[in-house]
A and B are shown apart, each in its own frame.
Chain A
């Protein structure tokens, strides 16, 4: 049964169009119920985030399934057919599988390797599954997508390197101090980026936050907001010794921290390392501080350079991730084909056996003089004929499936033998309408 994907994403559609496709998560099960009014799509999952809206379904007929999704989007989102035709990308089976694996592994995200998307995909599936809209086919597809995403995360460093100034600052602090849980942070000034970096470091568990500002009331307000305490800006030299991490972003026209102050602080700290992050322009911390032993100084350009390098690193890791995904897609598609083929073989055997048994029964009823031994011989002979007749087609089909066999080929075989599947045979979960 074809898997169908229809959607819009930040790659293809501007925000002003994308927001018209958006399905609020709180009402998702109702949207899924509404979609189930279009019975051509027998299973359904809706993934709706700020960067993408994607509908996954499976249908007996690809064309009917796509029509049903168009109808559902026109009815539920008030979109016109020509708008859908312009913006919606539609994929099936292997391409749809590949796309979901890429999305779940964060290879299709705006920021490569960002971790939130996997949680969003899991949540979309969970809602559909709990509301009874995800059956056997989509459950298998999404479960595999989660495993692939885990494999990509485990085997590549795609999401491991920080790609924002504040997260790079926290990451570097981690490489110096290991854990930040017992560390103190001193925030100098009240620049927006410095505040963000401080929030990030505190979010990683820093124990104490000290805020110093030329205007004490501003320091108090920011300290209250961040859960820290305000300290005297005029006693900067004394405060330096108390902090493991110093984040500076004042509007001072010249350096406010010089090497002498840091040397004194290091002495008080008995050489415990200091990490100084200078986000101010012009710089607050004299660059010569970076030459001191056990003092690690990064200015805004240094941090930006690490961000760029990490972004490049993620792009390189993405190549490895894509290779993992290709292998997984191939394995998944092949497994599905073999499963479908195996079900077709079973159906053909059952049909052939029914035909054989019927014909043997008719023949034997016309030959009443035959004994038990002859009956058994005829049964054995007819079974052997059926097996021999089926052996070659089965063998050829298996070989075709091992190389490449589309759904169309399988469908022709099913028609030839009169074993076209219905929903019960191929068990795609929930029936169309609700």
Chain B
């Protein structure tokens, strides 16, 4: 089943990239069709895995992250009927799922079990915020690319392949709002879990704390500037892309520390 799932995401990835380059309608049908099939299969597999604590390993959580990416992309697709975002969301989902599936015993008993409602809630919200910031990065990248196309005065075919600036800016605003809310809620619930388990609200070391604070601070500043100083367009997009670097660093540090401590 895992091979089928990864295969479906691979087909969808190829079709999305081909569509992005050629705008061939058959590629769009194949891309979305295979993605929906893969997503349904993925949902069923995750449902089975999450039904038992013994199968909620690290790989399953990584796979759940891929699931959230695909879920959000499908949401954007059905809302705007635009496949350009899929050009990078689907390949990312595929790589993530491929990596998760390659972890030994991913769909069996894992090395790290996430138990208890607080920790599950914390992890789910962290996944949602991570996926939101990933999408924010994607939309911002597309905004900057589209803006450069228009500024160049010699726009290429990409002008028609990317959504309009207005749509991208609107998506940026919404996804930032959701991403920041998810991250804040995730940190709060994580603290409650730490208090109930370790007797302190913050049990992470400084190395892991700093990137997290940076992520929360960067997106917080961006949100405040958008709401109060009406940051729009290019400036907001560039700031979002820089902030995403902090997300990647935070994620990498967590991975490294997990390896060191295990």
Contact = CB atoms under 8 A, between A and B. Distances in A.
Interface of A: 154-155, 157, 160-161, 172, 174-179, 270-273, 290, 293-294, 296, 298, 302, 305-306, 309, 313
Given A157-B160, A175-B165, A272-B232, 18 more contacts: A155-B25, A175-B146, A175-B155, A175-B160, A176-B150, A176-B165, A176-B166, A177-B164, A177-B165, A177-B166, A178-B163, A271-B235, A273-B165, A290-B153, A294-B232, A298-B153, A305-B153, A305-B154
Contacts of A306: 153-155
13 contacts: A157-B160, A172-B155, A176-B150, A176-B164, A176-B165, A178-B163, A178-B164, A273-B165, A290-B151, A293-B234, A294-B234, A306-B153, A309-B154
A270 B232 contact: yes
A221 to B, nearest CB: 33
Contact of B235 (A293, A302, A309): A293
Assign chain B's interface to a size class.
20 to 34
A176 B234 CA distance: 12
A273 B146 CA distance: 13
Nearest to B160: A160
Contacts of B157: 157, 313
Interface in B229-247: 230-235
B192 interface: no
Interface string B170-194: 0000000000000000000000000
A271 B230 contact: yes
B153 A302 contact: yes
Q: Which of B153, B167, B233, B234 has the most CB of A within 10 A?
A: B153
A342 B216 CA distance: 74
Contacts, number: 65
A172 B150 contact: yes
Interface string B15-39: 0000000011110000000000000
B118 interface: no
- Residue from the set A161, A175, A309 with the largest chain B CB neighbour count within 10 Å: A175
A213 B117 CA distance: 68
A175 B149 CA distance: 10
Contacts of A172: 150, 155
A314 B160 CA distance: 14
Interface string B94-124: 0000000000000000000000000000000
Contacts of B153: 290, 298, 302, 305-306
A87 B230 CA distance: 66
Contacts of A175: 146, 149-150, 155, 159-160, 164-165
A364 to B, nearest CB: 62
B83 to A, nearest CB: 15
A309 B152 CA distance: 13
Contacts of A161: 160
B165 to A, nearest CB: 5
B157 to A, nearest CB: 7
Contacts of A273: 165-166, 232-233
Interface in B132-160: 146, 149-151, 153-155, 157, 159-160
B196 to A, nearest CB: 45
Nearest to A154: B25
A276 to B, nearest CB: 12
Closest 8 CB pairs of A and B: A270-B230, A178-B164, A271-B232, A178-B166, A302-B153, A294-B233, A178-B167, A177-B166
Nearest to B146: A175
Nearest to B162: A175
A174 B164 contact: yes
A26 to B, nearest CB: 38
A290 B25 CA distance: 36
A293 B155 contact: no
A197 to B, nearest CB: 16
Nearest to B156: A309
Nearest to A293: B234
A273 B151 CA distance: 12
Interface string B181-217: 0000000000000000000000000000000000000
